Structures are given as C-alpha cells and as structure tokens.
Amino acid sequence: MTAIPAVPVSIPELAAPSVWPVSAVSAPGGDVAVGGVPLTEIAERYGTPAYVLDEDEVRSRARAWLRALPDAEVVYAAKAFVCRAVVDWMEQEGLGLDVCSAGELELAAVRGFPAERIVLHGNAKSPEDLRTALRLGVGRIVIDSDCEIARLAAQVTGPGAQQVMVRVLPGIEAGAHAKIRTGAEGQKFGLSIADGDAEDAIARILGQPRLELTGLHSHLGSQISSPEPYAQNVRRVVAFMARIRERHGITLPELDLGGGFAVAYLPGDPAPLPAAYGRRINDELVRSCAEFDYPLPRLTVEPGRSIMAPAGIALYRVLAVKRTGGQVFVAVDGGMSDNPRPALYGARYTVRLVGRASAAPMRATTVVGRHCEAGDVLAEAVELPEDVRPGDVLAVPASGAYQVSMASGYNMTRRPPVVAVSGGRSRLLVRRETFDDHRSRDVGL
C-alpha cells in the first residue's frame, strides 16, 4: 500500500483541521485520504460501518496537552475510546490513564501500563472494580460517595495506605448539554462543597489510616468551549483547599480538574487549543494560591475527547435513499448502535460523500441509521449531492470519541471495527464483531 501524496485542498470542510485530522487531503476521484490511506480503500478492505483512527493525530494531540501544561500530569480519559493500541500510545507519549471499571483496568494491565499512572473513577464502583484496583496497585482512587470510604478502607491490606482523592462538586454549570454537565449541584457525581458533604467525607477519610488523602478532584462536564469555567473551578476549589487546611490542619498537594475540553464537530465550532486552556488554568491557579497563601498543588487534567474525537472518522455505506414529505432521507448501514450520541443528547455532525465526484447540486439531507427507532438519526440538514445513491460511501469526521466506546448490539447488529492509519498504511486495531460472538453468549435453552 503506497501513501497518497497531498494535493491542493479545495473542499471547504477539509480546511478545518479541528473537524478532520490534519493529514486529511483530497484524493483522486472525489476521495479523501487520511494518514495517506484513501477512505474508500478502507471501506472496501474492512467493510462498513468502520471507524478510522489517525494514529499520528492522536499522538500529536496528546503531546499538545503535555506542552500546554508542562508541570502538570496529563491523564487520558479512557472512556472516550480505549483499546490495546491506544493504551500503548498513551504510555509511549507519557500520559497517565483515567479508567472507570475493572474491565478498563484489566486492559491496561494486559499492556503493562504503569499502575501508578492510573486513576480510577466512578460514582458507583463495584466490589470488583475496587478489588482489581487494589490488586493492581493503581495510583489514585477517586472517592465519589460516603459509601466508598469504609468499603475501600476495609479492603486495603497494606503495607502502605491507598492514595485517594475526593471528587467535589464546585457548583458550576458548564457543558454543551444538560446530560453531560457534571459540576453542578443536584446530580449523581461528586460531593457538594456548598452543603458540606465534601468536607464531611474528607474528615472521615482522615480518620482512616489505610487511606491517604492526596487531593481534590472535580469534573465540570463535556464540550466546554471556553477556559473560563476552568478558571472559576480553580478559584472555588483552591478556596476550599485553604478552608480544609484551616479546619483540619492538612495541606492537600494535588488538584485534578478533570477534562471536558471541547472539540469541533461542525466547521466553525469553538474549540480552543490546549495552550489556551493551559494558560488560563495556570494563571488562575497562581493567582488563587497567592490570594489564599496556599502552595501550588500538583495539577492534573484528564483530556479524552479532545485527544481522540478529531482523530476518528466513521465510514458508512448508503443502503437506501427516500424522498418524502419534501425531505431526503439517506439510510446507511450503521446508526445508533455504533453512534448513540445524536439520540442521547442531540450531537451534530458533518457528513461527506467520498470515493465519487459528483457535479449534482447539493441538498439538505437527513442521514439516518438502519435501526428500528424513529430517533435513529445520525445527522440532520447536512449538505449532500442530490444524486447520492445506494452503494455510496459517506464519511463522518470527529468520530473518534464516545462512539465505538458506547456502541451496542441493538437489533443484533455487529459492532464495527477500528482501523488505524499512519504513513500510508492501515492496520486493524479492533475486529468487527461476528454472529458467532453473539451466539457464544446466548447459552440458554
């Protein structure tokens, strides 16, 4: 397989590197190449639906976060998407790993990821999650409820104490949709600073000799397109850390601000560079610590989407075209089983025909999935050629995060493969699910 040389980019949406990977270029016959590999070549070789991941884009975005906060610990939020190769990439680039289950922990262990660079999250960690974390020796476990404190302490066998952080609610509304806002009062994550729950939990942890409280954690939400909520969060949490020092005589050395940094899903969407977030966070941390005479804590951030989403592209094949009620519906061979985000919280995407040049006029089109739900809509009001037809291949950029990781087997469809591209070559990272996979789990007679 030979690399596709770059040609002058004349397609407007390809001029937005925050939507498409930087390596995306026009290719002959109306195609697009990513990482030097034509997208239609991937569709033919691996079938559709399929997910393409630009390895160089992932690594570049990871490094951008390290440059943006050189004195901080950068921890990749594995929930965005994780597989063996991604674990390896994060380890090689010097990032930590944020996990939410025993399954993600075991995957990291299989790849030999350093346990001390792993952070375990979750508002309702199972006994298996906690046992696995302690067995593997994860660096920090984030306490998310009072219930976890005694339960975790009882399982620590020593000789040393388990390092923990407390996830606090700073009472800040931030995020693109109510379902992905996690820093405000009155939702399932964290312990409230305002009503005293966080301080009560801290007091209880300080009474547990098997637990070592190293700092505070917070996470405001997802798709936060301005650095200002992070600055506000820094002010509130540093003030709370100073209050804890005054009341309990302990100076907490770590502050984890979580993730949630926005990416562009449509051309023109606001998506500040890591450096912009980093500057504002650092400036406010220095200012707030000086105001409260508090030593600068070790900072941690947890980017996931901002590393993975712009590196991924979903590929679908058109199955049917329906023109009815003044609308055009283009049905593809995937849908909410591989991308539930539009149905869950109205996520929007851009879509492009690849592999065929068309001179037909563009028309507003609704791209729908194949599943038995009226809400199985992948993209509304996207511009596609009027002559789009069955067999065409459609590409959806900004698809690297929270799609395959949230995929299901609805209607007993098969979860799609993930293919990495780099240097003109493609390689399979995650194979397509098979019918045998489904049958092997069905053991009842």
Which residues are marked as active site? 372
Q: What is the crossing angle of helices 146-155 and 197-206, to 10°? A: 20
Check if the beta carbon of residue 92 is closer than 8 Å to that of residue 158.
Answer: no
Residue 379 CA, chain-centre distance (Å), reads 20
Check if the beta carbon of residue 58 is closer than 8 Å to that of residue 46.
Answer: no
Which of these, 405, 398, 348, 399, lies nearest to 377 by C-alpha position?
348
Residues 6+ apart with CB under 8 A from 319: 331, 332, 333, 370, 390
- Distance between CA atoms of 69 and 80, rounded to whole angstroms? 21
- Distance between CA atoms of 250 and 242, rounded to whole angstroms? 9
In a 10 Å sphere around its CB, with 0-12 CB exposed, 13-18 middle and 19+ buried, how is residue 95 labelled? buried
